[in-house]
């Protein structure tokens, strides 16, 4: 009886450890799935990533960039916009205009050498580049 139970428990652990989602993955068509995963991070604001790539091409390391998007609400898109900009613009200093305590930080707008404005008001300054729904303004 104990031997049968031990075997059953051993087998149960082996079977329960299998991840059925991962197991199915090699049988999916990669070409069909790849775009879904490529868009996953930016699924809410698809052209935003392309805009940030453009901003990167038109700025250099060490420059200071503030990010302006359609919302300053941290939980409704600003956190994503700020974090995503930090990733794509690594090497530059990216400054947020709002924080998770829902405070607005106009002082960062004053400090920034550039404003990357995507689908938002165009701040005063010289337009350095525009594309993918946004403009890069030198202040």
Partner 1 sequence: MAAVLIAILSLTVLGIPLVLAVDRNASPLRLLGLAFLYGTGAIYFVLLALSVLHIRWSLLSVTIAALLCGGQALLPVLGRRHGGQARVPVLHVHVFDLAALIAPAALACYATIAPLWEWDFWAIWGLKARVFLEAGGIDWRFLESRWNTFAHPDYPLLVPFAYDFAALVGGGWSDRWLGLLFVAWALAFLLVARDLAALETTPVKAALIVFALSWLAVSRYVGLAEGALVAFIGAGVFFVRRALLANDDAAWRHGAILLGLAACTKNEGLAMLASVAIAIAIVDVRSLRRLWPAAAIALPWLVLRALHDLPTDVVSGSLALRFAARASEAGAIFRLLIANLHDPWLWAALLLGLLLIPRRRERFVLLAVTFQILFYIGAYFVTPHDPAWHIATSWPRLTMQIVAPLAYAVMVQLAHAEARSEQP
Sites of contact with partner 1 (CB under 8 A): 2-3, 5-10, 12-19, 21-23, 25-26, 30, 33-34, 37-38, 40-41, 61, 79, 83-84, 86-87, 90-91, 93-96, 99
Q: Would you call 12 exposed, middle or buried from its count of C-beta atoms within 10 A (0-12, 13-18, 19+)?
A: exposed
Q: How far is the CB of 95 from partner 1 (least distance, A)?
A: 6
Cβ neighbours of residue 77 closer than 8 Å, sequence gap 6 or more: 44, 45, 69, 70, 71
Compare residues 12 and 122 and give the one whose CB is closer to partner 1: 12
CB atoms within 10 A of CB 115: 26
Question: Residue 33 or residue 121: which is nearer to partner 1 going by CB?
Answer: 33
Instruction: Compute the least distance from the CB of residue 115 to partner 1, in Å.
Output: 16
Element (H, E) at 40: helix 30-40
Residue 37 or 126: which CB sits closer to partner 1? 37
């Amino acid at each position: 009886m104990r031997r049968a139970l031990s075997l059953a428990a051993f087998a149960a652990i082996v079977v329960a450890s299998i991840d059925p989602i991962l197991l199915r993955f090699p049988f999916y068509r990669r070409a069909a799935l790849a775009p879904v995963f490529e868009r996953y991070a930016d699924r809410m604001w698809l052209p935003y990533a392309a805009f940030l790539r453009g901003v990167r091409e038109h700025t250099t390391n060490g420059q200071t960039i503030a990010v302006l998007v359609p919302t300053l609400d941290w939980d409704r898109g600003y956190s994503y916009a700020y974090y995503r900009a930090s990733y794509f613009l690594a090497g530059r200093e990216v400054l947020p205009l709002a924080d998770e305590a829902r405070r607005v930080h106009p002082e960062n707008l004053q400090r920034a050498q550039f404003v990357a404005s995507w689908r938002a008001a165009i701040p005063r300054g010289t337009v350095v580049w525009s594309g993918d729904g946004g403009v890069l303004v030198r202040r």
